[in-house]
Structure 1
Amino acid sequence: MTVNEDLFTDWKNREEIAESMIPIIGRLQRERDVTVLLHSRSLVNRSVVSILKTHRFARQIAGEELSVTETFPFLQALTTLDLGPSQIDIGMLAATYKADDHGLSVEEFTAQAVAGAVGAEKRERRDSRDVVLYGFGRIGRLLARLLIEKAGSGNGLRLRAIVVRRSAGEDLVKRASLLRRDSIHGQFHGTITVDEATSTIIANGNAIKVIYSDDPTTVDYTEYGINDAILVDNTGKWRDREGLSKHLRPGIAKVVLTAPGKGDVPNIVHGVNHDTIKPDEQIISCASCTTNAIVPPLKAMEDEFGVLRGHVETVHSFTNDQNLLDNYHGADRRGRSAPLNMVITETGAASAVSKALPDLKAKITGSSIRVPVPDVSIAILNLQLARETTREEVLEHLREVSLTSPLKRQIDFTTAPDAVSSDFIGSRHASIVDAGATKVEGDNAILYLWYDNEFGYSCQVVRVVQHVSGVEYPTFPAPAV
C-alpha cells in the first residue's frame, strides 16, 4: 500500500469514528443536558468534517493534532456514567490522561475527572428559564440563534418572546426572514415557520411570541405565560438604571443590557468578573464588544507580568449607527459613508476596563478607527509590563491560558501565518490572540487581538445570561486556576 493510500485509509477510519460520535453527543445533550466540548469548542450539532477539523485545530494551541481515536474512548466512557447537567471537555480529558502517571484505565480516569458531575455531587436538571429579547437587530438575531441552539435539551434557557416596534408591511414575515438568512453569518441551522394569526415565529420547535410595543412600561409579560424571565435589551436606548428599570414589568425578574452601562450599572465581562454579580442584582450590563475583547487578555497579562500602563487601538468594522452614504449624523465623522471610508472615532472600552478590573491600577487609554468591513475587528493592545520578558514567554503564557485556564472560553489563540479578519467570523471567543503578529521587547508587549464583534460578543452575553439564570453548568475537567 502506498503512502497516499495509507493517508486516505486513515482519513476514512477517522470519518467513521466521527460519525459514531455524533449520536452519542446528541443523546448526552438531549437526555442528560451534557454538552460535549473539545478544547472549549462545542461538538453538539456538528458535522463529521467539522468534528475532524475541530480536532485538527487543537494543534494550534496544544502543539500537535488531536485524533478522534484519542478522544472517542473518553466519549464512550461518559455514556457509562450517571451524569448530571454539565459541560465535559473530551480534549482536556485526553490531554490530562496522557500526562497522568497513575496507571488508571480510561474508564477509571474519566469517572475520577468528572466526579463532580455524578452521584451526590451532580446538579439536578431544572426547568427552563424564560428569556425575552427587547429589540431584534444584529445582536438580537444572533442571540436568538444562540438561545434556540441551546434549547436542544429542553432545559436551560428558553427564548419566549421578542419585543419590537411594528413596521409597515409584512413585519413578522420579514423579521423571520432576517433570522433565517444572514449575509455575514449564513443560514439559520434548522427550520423557521411563521404563524401570523398568533404573531409567533416557530424556530426548531421553539414558539417565540413577537410582541409589538413602543414603550416597555406598557407590556405585561404574564399575559403571554412568561414568568421570572431575563430580558435582554439589545436596543441600547436605555443605559442607566432608571431607564433600564422600565423593563421590570410583571413577568420580568432581571434585565441584561448589550451595551456599556452608565452610572452604577455593573459592567460584566464573563470569565473576568461575572462572579461579582450579586444574587439580588436586577440590572446588569455586558459592556461592549471591545471591552470583552481586551479585558480577558489584559487580565491574563496582569496576572503573569503585571501591567503599568497601556493603550488600545481598535480597528473596528462599521456598524448600523453609521451612514451608508454621506448624510447628517449627530456624531463627528460618522456621517461619512461607512463602506467607503476609514473613520476615526472614539471608544469607551479603555475607560470601561476599570469597572471590569477594579484591581488593575494601570492607566489604559484608547481610540478607534471604523473600517469598511462588515464584521470582525482587531484590538491592538500596547502594554508596558512590570517586568521584562520575551516574546516566547508571552506567547507560551497566552497559549496556556487559552487551553487550560478559567479564561479558555474567552481567549483563543492562532498561529496561522495567513490569518485575516474573515477567518474569525463566527468565533465564539471574546478575542483571539494572533501569535504571528505579537511583538515583545523588554517590558513592552504589543498584542493583536481579533474578535467577532457580533457573534463572539453575543456568546459572551449568553454566558452572562446563563450565569444569572442559574443554568451555567460546571465544566469538567475543572480548568487550572
Structure 2
Amino acid sequence: MTVNDDVFTNWKHREEIAESMIPIIGKLHRERDVTVLLHSRSLVNKSVISILKAHRFARQIAGEELSVTETQPFLHALTALDLGPSQIDIGMLAATYRNDDRGLSVAEFTAQAVAGATGADKIERRASRDVVLYGFGRIGRLLARLLIEKAGSGNGLRLRAVVVRRAAGQDLVKRASLLRRDSIHGQFQGTITVDEANSTIIANGNEIKVIYSDDPTSVDYTAYGIKDAVLIDNTGRWRDREGLSQHLRPGIDKVILTAPGKGDVPNVVHGVNHDMIKPDEQIISCASCTTNAIVPPLKAMADEYGVLRGHVETVHSFTNDQNLLDNYHKSDRRGRSAPLNMVITETGAASAVAKALPDLEATITGSSIRVPVPDVSIAILNLQLARETSREEVLDHLREVSLTSPLKRQIDFTSAPDAVSNDFIGSRHASIVDAGATKVEGDNAILYLWYDNEFGYSCQVVRVVQHVSGAEYPTFPAPVA
C-alpha cells in the first residue's frame, strides 16, 4: 500500500466516523435540547464534510488539528447522561481531557465536566417562545433563517409572523423567494412553500404568517394566536423608546431593535453587557454590527492591559442605504455610487461603546469608509494601552479568549496568512481577530477585526433574544472567567 493510499484510507475512515456522529448530534438536539459545539461552532444539521472541516479549522485557533477520532468518544459519553437543555463543546472536552492528569476515563471526565447539565442541576425544557419579525430586509431574512434553524428542538424560539408593507405584484411569492435564495449567503437549508390563501410561508415545517401593515399600532397579534412574543424591529424606522413602544400591542411582550438605540434605550452587546438587561425591560437595542464587532475585543484588551484611548476605522461593505448609481441622498457622500466608490462616512460605533462598556474611561473615536463589497467588513482598532506588551503576548491572550473565555462566541481567531473578506461570509462570531495583521509596539496595539456585518450581527441579535426569552442555555465545559 502506498503513502497516498494510507492518506486516502484515513480520510475515508474519518468520513465514516463523522457520518456516525450526525444522528447522535441530531437526536441530542431534538430530544434533549442539547446543542453540540466544536470550539463554539454548532454541529447541529451539519454535513459530513462540514463536521470534518470544523475539526480541521481548530488548528487555526488552538494550533493543532482535532480529529473526529478524539471527539467521537465524548459524543458517545454524552448519550449515556441524563442531560437537560445545554450547549456542550466536544472540542473543549477533548482539549481539556488532553491536559487532565487524573487518569479518568472519557466517560468519567465527561460526566464531571457537564455535571451542571445533569441530575438536579439540569434545566427543564421550556415551552417555545413566539417571535415576530417587523420588517423583512437583509437582516430580517437572515434572522428568519437562524430562527427556523434553531426551532429544531421545538423548545426554543419559534418564528410565528413577519410584518411588512404590502408591495405590488406577487408579494408573498417574491418574499418567499428572497428567503429561499440569497446572492451572498446561498440557498436556504431546507424547504419553503407558500400558502397564498392563508398568507403563510412554510419553512421547514414552521408556519410563518405574513401580516401586512403600515402602522404598528394597528396589529392585534393575539388574533393570530401569538402571545408573549418578542418582536424584532429590523426596519430601523424607530430608535427611541416612544417610537418602539408602538410595537407593544396585544401579544407582544418585548421589542428588540437591530440598530443603535437612542435616549434611554439600553444598547446591548451580547457577551459583554447582556446581563444588565432588567427582567421588566421591554425595549432593547442590539446596537450596530460594528459596535458588536469592536466591543468584545475592546473589553478583552481593557481587562488584560487597560486602555487609555483608542480609534476605530471601519472599512465597511456597502448597504441598501446607499445608491447603486449617483443620485439624491440626504447624506452627501452616500448619494454616490456604492459599487464604484470608496465612500467616507460616519459611524456611531465609537459613541455606542460608552453604553456597552460604561466602566471604560478611555475616549474612543471612530470613522468609516464604505467600500465596493456586498458583505464582510473589517474594523481596525488602534489602542493605547495602560502598559507595554508584545505582539506574541497579545495574540496568545486573544487566542485564549476566543477558546475558553465567556467571550468565545463573540471573538473568533484566525492565523491564516492568506485570509480575505470572503472567507468570513457566514461567520457566527461578532468579530474575528486576524493574527497576521496584528501590530503591537510598546503600549500601542492595532487589531484587525473581520466581521460578517450581516450574518455575524444577526447571530448576536438572536443570542439577545434567547437571553431575554430564557432560551439561552449554559455552555459546558464552563468558560474561564
Does the pair score TM above 0.5?
yes
Q: Which residue of 2 aligns with 1:156?
A: 156
Q: Which residue of 2 aligns with 1:292?
A: 292
Q: Which residue of 1 aligns with 2:122?
A: 122
Instruction: Structure 2: state its 5+ residue gaps.
Output: none
Q: Which residue of 2 aligns with 1:433?
A: 433
Shift of 1:4: 1.3
Q: Which residue of 2 aligns with 1:356?
A: 356
Count of residues paired in the alignment: 481
Partner amino acid, structure 2, of 1:86: S
What is the SS of the residue equivalent to 1:379? strand
Partner amino acid, structure 2, of 1:82: D
Partners of 1:217 and 1:19 in 2: CA distance: 50
Give runs of aligned pairs for residues 200-219 of structure 1, distance below 5 A.
200-219=200-219
Partners of 1:465 and 1:306 in 2: CA distance: 31
Alpha-carbon RMSD:
0.4
Is residue 309 of structure 2 the alignment partner of residue 309 of structure 1?
Answer: yes
What is the SS of the residue equivalent to 1:29? helix
Q: Which residue of 2 aligns with 1:318?
A: 318
What is the SS of the residue equivalent to 2:388? coil
Partners of 1:415 and 1:110 in 2: CA distance: 30
What is the SS of the residue equivalent to 2:81? coil
Partner amino acid, structure 2, of 1:174: K
Partners of 2:230 and 2:53 in 1: CA distance: 35
Deviations 1:3-56 (A, max 9, x none): 211111111110110000000000000011000000000000111011001001
Deviations 1:256-297 (A, max 9, x none): 000000000000000000000000000000000000000000
Q: Which residue of 2 aligns with 1:2?
A: 2
Partners of 2:100 and 2:273 in 1: CA distance: 32
Q: Which residue of 2 aligns with 1:31?
A: 31
Is residue 174 of structure 2 the alignment partner of residue 170 of structure 1?
Answer: no
Q: TM-score, normalised by structure 1?
A: 1.00
What is the SS of the residue equivalent to 1:316? strand
What is the SS of the residue equivalent to 2:72? helix
Partners of 2:401 and 2:381 in 1: CA distance: 17
What is the SS of the residue equivalent to 1:7? helix
Deviations 1:158-212 (A, max 9, x none): 0000000000000000000000000000000000000000000000000000000
Give runs of aligned pairs for residues 330-349 of structure 1, distance below 5 A.
330-349=330-349
Instruction: Structure 1: state its 5+ residue gaps.
Output: none
What is the SS of the residue equivalent to 2:387? coil
What is the SS of the residue equivalent to 1:74? helix
Partners of 1:471 and 1:330 in 2: CA distance: 41
Shift of 1:332: 1.6
Partner amino acid, structure 1, of 2:53: K
Partners of 2:255 and 2:16 in 1: CA distance: 46
What is the SS of the residue equivalent to 1:87? strand
Shift of 1:473: 0.4
Partners of 1:370 and 1:404 in 2: CA distance: 34
Runs of 4 or more, structure 1, over 3 Å off, are none
Is residue 441 of structure 2 the alignment partner of residue 419 of structure 1?
Answer: no
Partners of 1:321 and 1:32 in 2: CA distance: 43
Partners of 1:317 and 1:105 in 2: CA distance: 49
Give runs of aligned pairs for residues 75-86 of structure 1, distance below 5 A.
75-86=75-86
Partners of 2:36 and 2:201 in 1: CA distance: 29
Q: Which residue of 1 aligns with 2:49?
A: 49
Is residue 373 of structure 2 the alignment partner of residue 373 of structure 1?
Answer: yes
Partners of 1:108 and 1:332 in 2: CA distance: 64
What is the SS of the residue equivalent to 2:259? coil
Partners of 2:104 and 2:417 in 1: CA distance: 39
Give runs of aligned pairs for residues 441-456 of structure 1, distance below 5 A.
441-456=441-456
Shift of 1:224: 0.1
What is the SS of the residue equivalent to 1:338? coil
What is the SS of the residue equivalent to 1:124? coil
Partners of 1:304 and 1:5 in 2: CA distance: 48
Shift of 1:465: 0.2
What is the SS of the residue equivalent to 1:388? strand
Is residue 428 of structure 2 the alignment partner of residue 398 of structure 1?
Answer: no
Aligned sequence identity (%): 89
Deviations 1:423-459 (A, max 9, x none): 0000000000000000000000000000000000000
Is residue 240 of structure 2 the alignment partner of residue 243 of structure 1?
Answer: no
Partners of 1:200 and 1:8 in 2: CA distance: 48
Partners of 1:101 and 1:264 in 2: CA distance: 51
Partners of 1:439 and 1:26 in 2: CA distance: 42
Shift of 1:102: 1.0
Q: TM-score, normalised by structure 2?
A: 1.00
Give runs of aligned pairs for residues 227-266 of structure 1, distance below 5 A.
227-266=227-266
Partners of 1:115 and 1:384 in 2: CA distance: 42
What is the SS of the residue equivalent to 1:384? strand
Partners of 2:334 and 2:52 in 1: CA distance: 43
Is residue 218 of structure 2 the alignment partner of residue 197 of structure 1?
Answer: no
Is residue 456 of structure 2 the alignment partner of residue 461 of structure 1?
Answer: no
Q: Which residue of 2 aligns with 1:223?
A: 223
Partner amino acid, structure 1, of 2:29: Q
